[in-house]
């Protein structure tokens, strides 16, 4: 089983790249953001409180997110591998999932998408979504044919609460404070970590570069996994 962890600040293109990689690699795309929004929509497990945190740009409790991820990764379609998008976001989550990986003999490659923060703010505050079908647009890079209306059903587009500028800036501050150390954690524990510049290049071009580094990363990670297993035996 192979685990691909897409890493990067909000708006760096993790979701877009996960969808492209899913089509190429035929493994599921596991987005904690999507799972949490579905929990909120169905009002499952204190959805209102989770919604308030997400709208404020804060992170949801580690235990809740860890449980959601474990449940999803235990489903049959994730047996060959999976693409994690938006998880782990804290060192505690990273420690938790690494123990889960080690117990299952899973190899992970971390792909870090690097994008300038000013570009991220422009990207996210320009996003719009159809409230009926969920189609996403961007006023700069992917505008609708008719201003503020969905191309598919004509519904008026809306701004997601977590795409408002004040929330975007809060999310970026949270990333620097809580999530960037996760990348350092993976580096310090011997995981294969690759950084990809993901600024103004077309998504398909970025995806091709990711595929190349994944192949290299998994070849390298075979020996790392063996070393980790021996270390565990000696503890």
**Is 235 in the active site?**
no
Dist. CA 227–CA 225, nearest whole Å: 5
Catalytic option among 89, 98, 107, 123: 89
Q: How far is CA 38 from CA 15, 41, 42, 45, 95, in A?
A: 16, 5, 6, 11, 25
Planar angle of CA 173, 174, 180, nearest 5 degrees: 95
Catalytic option among 14, 39, 98, 128: 14
**Is 89 in the active site?**
yes
Residue 121's contacts (CB-CB under 8 Å, 6 or more residues apart) are 11, 165, 168, 169, 172
Catalytic option among 107, 123, 127, 228: 127
Determine if residue 13 is left, alpha or beta; phi over 0 gives left, psi from -120 to 50 gives alpha, anything else beta: left
Catalytic option among 98, 107, 128, 171: 171
Q: How far is CA 103 from CA 131, 226, 231, in A?
A: 41, 13, 13
- Residue among 108, 124, 89, 111 at smallest CA distance from 20: 111
**Is 41 in the active site?**
no
Strands 136-138 and 127-129: antiparallel
Catalytic option among 22, 160, 169, 194: 160
Give catalytic residue positions: 14, 89, 127, 160, 171
């Amino acid at each position: 089983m192979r685990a691909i962890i897409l890493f990067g600040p909000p708006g760096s293109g993790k979701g877009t790249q996960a969808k492209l990689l899913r089509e190429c690699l035929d493994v599921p795309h596991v987005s904690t953001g999507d799972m949490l929004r579905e929990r909120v929509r169905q009002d499952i497990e204190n959805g209102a409180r989770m919604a308030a945190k997400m709208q404020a740009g804060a992170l949801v409790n580690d235990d809740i997110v860890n449980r959601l991820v474990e449940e999803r990764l235990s489903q049959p379609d994730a047996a060959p591998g999976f693409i994690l998008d938006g998880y782990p976001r804290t060192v505690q989550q990273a420690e938790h999932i690494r123990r889960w990986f080690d117990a299952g003999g899973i190899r992970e490659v971390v792909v870090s998408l690097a994008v300038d923060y000013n570009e991220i703010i422009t990207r996210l505050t320009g996003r719009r979504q159809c409230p009926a079908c969920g189609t996403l647009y961007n006023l700069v890079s992917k505008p609708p044919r008719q201003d503020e209306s969905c191309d598919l059903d004509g519904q008026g587009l809306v701004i997601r609460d977590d795409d408002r500028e004040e929330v975007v800036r809060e999310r970026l501050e949270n990333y620097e404070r809580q999530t960037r150390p996760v990348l350092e954690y993976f580096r310090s524990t011997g995981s294969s970590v690759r950084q990809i510049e993901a600024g103004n290049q077309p998504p398909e071009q970025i995806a091709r570069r990711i595929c190349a580094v994944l192949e290299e990363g998994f070849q390298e990670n075979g020996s790392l996994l063996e070393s980790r297993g021996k270390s565990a035996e000696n503890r």
